[in-house]
Each structure stands twice: as structure tokens, then as C-alpha cells.
Structure 1
Amino acid sequence: MKKNLKTLTSIVLSALLLASCSKSADAPVAPEKKDNADKVLTYIQSLGFSQNNIVDNGDAYIVDEDIRFPKDMEVPVGKPTAEQRWTGSKLTAANALNIRIKVDPSMTSMMPEINSAINQWNTIGGAIALHITIVTGTSYDILIKDTNLGAGICGQGTFPSGGKAGNLIQINKSYIAGNSFAQRQRTITHEIGHNISIMHTNQTGGLLIMGTPPSDPLSIMNAGQCGSGATVLSNFDKVAAQWLY
């Protein structure tokens, strides 16, 4: 009986030891990815956008129909000063000098329009440190691709974060196909502006950039002008870019 009790005790102790070893050997549970959506939404609202102008589009909030704020974006710390008309997040100096755009195969038929749009930003002149190139490799900053965004929306740009340009431009290629060449490249130029932090000139939200007026009918960054808006950067569009970069 004593022998059986001793054997049973030994078995129990061994089982407990094995259980203890097994528990300590288990890999730690990876923490869940923190949901940043609430912070992004709060930030958008802090820029002066009403809830009516913000649409939840799954992985991003869409503002004024064509500006994407990814829900996993890095939200800027602090609030921009009231003299500015931008969104408080811009590219670092190094990144602004080397913005690499990759053209998805779905957009290669509009390469002339893309090149024309890039040329507008690259030839602003003055004391500006901003340069955009097209790349074909796997390393890039912005992907431009064709996306069916529905009737009435020509394209969508993405708000920059973490010192980098917004990583996506979507062009509703079939919708703008009937527009003139100048208007098609205007859409692309406009969306690139959003990806480097310039907001709509003719709508509330965002903050005024020093040296620019509250409104500019010649601005390529005016909203709601797909197919009919200005086709070249206005003087104040250039001032805005020069102020930022």
C-alpha cells in the first residue's frame, strides 16, 4: 500500500512538473493590433470637417469625396497653427525630394497624363525642395492605379503620414476617359496634391497657408470640378507648395 501511494505521489509530481514546463515553454501571445480608427476620426474632425463630410470606407475615411485618411495612418502629434491651410502632416525634407510613383499596369494607357501631372509639380520653381519621379521596381512611395469609384468621383488621393507621401492614388479611369487630355491630367495633378498634404481650396476643413487667400477660383486644388476645373497650378497653388516644402 505504501509502495502504491509512493508511486502515485511520484506520478502526480511528474505530471505537475510537466505541466509547469509546458506552460513556461509556450510562446507569448502576440498583442492585438491597436485600432487607430478612433484617433484618425478625431483628428479629421479637429481639422474642421463635419461628420457629414466624412465617409467610412472600410480601411479608410474619405473626406470631401476624394481624400483618403487610412485608419492605420500615423496621426500627427499636436495641432497645426491657425495660419495654415493644410492638414498638419507633411513629408520630411528627404522624402519630399524623392517622391517615387509607381504606375500600376491598369494606368499605363494614361502615362502621358501622369507625366504631365508630375511635370507640373516638378517645375514650380522658386525655393522649393520637391521632386517626383516614376519608378518601376518594388520600392516606391505612391502607387497610382485605376479604381471604379462610382459616378461623380474622378479620383482619390491619400493623406500623408509619418513623414511619407500618401501611398495610394486611385483614378476612376473609365469615368474620366471622355474628358479632354488637359482635364484628365488635371485630375491626376489634383490627387498628387492631396498626397503631399494640400487640401481643397474651396471647401472648409484644413488650415490656411500663409500667403494664400481664402478662395482661389484658378486653383487646381478646388473640389467638385472634375472635367471643368483649372488645368494648371495657379500662382497660389505654387505658393502653398513652396510654403510646405
Structure 2
Amino acid sequence: MKKSIKFLLAAALISFIFVSCKKSADAPAPVPEQDNAKKVLSYILNMGFPAHMIVENTNEYIVEEDIIFPKNMKVPVGFDSKVKPEQFYTGSLVGATNVTNIRLMVDTSMTVMLPEINSAINQWNTVSGCTIHWSIVTSGAYDVLITNFNLGNGVCGQGTFPSGGVAGNLIRINRNFIAANSFAQRARTICHEMGHNVSFRHTNWQAIGEPTATPVPGVPGTDASSIMNGGQCGSGATVLSTNDKAAAAALYH
């Protein structure tokens, strides 16, 4: 009797193990995470940036020295390695609602530059006929973080382009490198990077050997007085030009 019980218990245990293993084997395997970095790289290439101009870091790609593409960014629908849609400024604009209140969080490393930050904000906020409006927040939710970052010699700042209808979420300022620049030039650096956050490419893209950029309809594509000219750290225009303002009003009216 005891042997029979032992046999039945052993048989039941073997059956349980078999069923458990079978269920485990039949269970669907976890779906691997999509490699968003590859999508971002394809997006950059489809925008016209050649591979040799793309610098890869751990969490991002950098192009034109001062434009950041985070590897976890939301890629606009329709951009992949097989589909190249109609080319435009960056591939994405800030949504109509979001652009009216772009919340800027000033990192503690940048509070010393609050006067320059406010000067840059004032320039964008006072463009006639344009809905772009920036505001500084000190706590809670924000859209863009501005922080100090050592970018080495030669690069004053970096900014991200919009994605998913929201402004590019980061501005890096090489504070120590631009410290010797005039107040107007330091504010200019911030204003320039804020322009990238709302979709502007470099106005002088052709002169400095960057990929083709489509000008804003009705606004000339070149402008020596544009604050969005690249490669002019410490020497460029310090205020939004007439064409800069016209382009901002055309995109965000």
C-alpha cells in the first residue's frame, strides 16, 4: 500500500513537472524592445545628413556640432530607411497648443546666466504675429531643460529639434567657453539654440557645408543677419533678423 502511494505521488509529481514545463515552453517569448536608436539614425539620414557628419554618443547623435538627436526620441511617423517624405525644416514642428507655452527649466548650473536667458526669451516672445512663447518654470513639469555642459573648445551650445509635437527638450550651453564673450553674444548663443528647439535649421547651411535645408515658404533662404547662422559663436548677429521673425511668424502664426 505504501509503495502504491509512493508510486502515485511520484507519478503525480512527474506529471506536474511535465505540465509546468510544457506551459512554460508554450508561453510566448517576451517581445524584445524595439531598437529606437536605429530608427533615429534612419530619421537623421533621411533628413539629408550624411553619415560622416553624424557623431554617435552613448545616448544621442550629434549633427552640425550643435543639434542633438536623443536615441530615445519619438521619431515622426513616416520616417524610416525605406520611406523618404517631402523634405522640410527639421521633420517636425511644435504643436499649436504647446508652442504657446514652452516651459523652460533652468538648471542650477545656469542660474548665473538668468539675465542672458531672459534676454533670449524676450526676443522670441516679442516676434509680431508669432505664437511662440517661452516661460521659465522653477519646479514641476517642463518642456526644455537648459544646462551647463562642457562641449570642448569651439562649440558654444547645443539644442534638440522638436518631436512628437513638443519642443526639443534640451539646451546645453558651454558656459565656461563663452564666458569671455559679450553679454549680447552669450544671449545670442541661448537664443540660437532655442531656435533649434522650435525647428529652425542653420540659415547658412550651404555656406558651411551642411545638408540641404528647405527654406520657410516666402522667406529667403540666406540672410547674413540671421541669428540662426551656424559657426558664428561669439561673432554672429545678436538679435533676430527681419527674416528670422518672418520665418517664425510663417511657421507659428
Give me the TM-score of the superposition, normalised by structure 1: 0.90
Structure-2 residue corresponding to 1:236: 243
Letter in 2 for 1:243: A
Which secondary structure does the structure 1 equivalent of 2:135 belong to? strand
1:94 and 1:24, CA in 2 relative to 1: closer, same or farther beyond 3 A? farther
Q: Distance in 2 between matches of 1:23 and 1:105?
A: 56
Match of 1:14 in 2: 13
Aligned partner of residue 213 in structure 2, secondary structure: coil
- 1:112 alignment partner, one of 93, 112, 115: 115
* CA distance 1:37–1:17, shift in 2 (3 Å): same
Q: What does residue 150 of structure 1 align with?
A: 152
Partner of residue 203, structure 2: 201
* Paired position in structure 2 for 1:98: 101
Does 2:51 align with 1:51? yes
Partner of 2:167: 165
- Quote how far apart the aligned CAs of 1:133 are: 0.2
Gapped regions of structure 1 (runs ≥ 5):
none
Deviation at 1:15, TM superposition (A): 4.5
In structure 1, the residue matched to 2:125 is 122
Q: Deviations over 1:210-242 (max 9, x none)?
A: 112221111100100000000001111112211
Which residue number corresponds to residue 66 of structure 2? 66
Q: What percent identity do the matched residue pairs reach?
A: 55
Give the corresponding residue for 2:137: 135
CA distance in 1, matches of 2:69, 2:213: 13
- Determine the C-alpha separation between the residues in 2 that align with 1:197 and 1:24: 51
- Specify whether residues 130 and 23 from structure 1 end up closer, same or farther in structure 2 by C-alpha distance, changes over 3 A only: farther
The Cα shift of 1:12 comes to 2.6
Q: What is the root-mean-square deviation of aligned Cα atoms in Å?
A: 2.3
Runs of 5+ unmatched residues, structure 2: 79-83, 206-210
Secondary structure of 1:170's counterpart equals strand
Opposite residue 184 of structure 2, the aligned amino acid is A
Count of residue pairs the alignment pairs up: 241
Matched-pair contact (CA < 8 Å) for 1:80–1:88: no
**Cα distance in structure 2, aligned partners of 1:205 and 1:141:** 28
Q: CA deviation at 1:140?
A: 0.3
Distance (whole Å) between structure 1 residues aligned to residue 98 and residue 72 of structure 2: 20
- Aligned residue type for 1:7: K
TM-aligned CA deviation for residue 94 of structure 1: 1.0
Q: Deviations over 1:72-121 (max 9, x none)?
A: 11111235645x4x112111111101100000000000000000000000
CA 1:30–1:110: 2 relative to 1, 3 Å = farther
Return the match for 1:214 from 214, 218, 221: 221
CA distance in 2, matches of 1:236, 1:121: 13
Residue 182 of structure 1 is matched in structure 2 by 184
- Whole-Å Cα distance in 2 between the matches of residues 89 and 21 of structure 1? 50
SS at match of 2:97: helix
Does 1:89 pair with 2:80?
no
Residue aligned with 1:112, SS: helix
Deviations 1:163-184 (A, max 9, x none): 1111110000000000000000
Question: Under a length normalisation based on structure 2, what TM-score does the superposition of the two structures give?
Answer: 0.87
**Residue 21 (structure 1) shift:** 5.6
Q: Is it true that 1:38 corresponds to 2:38 in the alignment?
A: yes
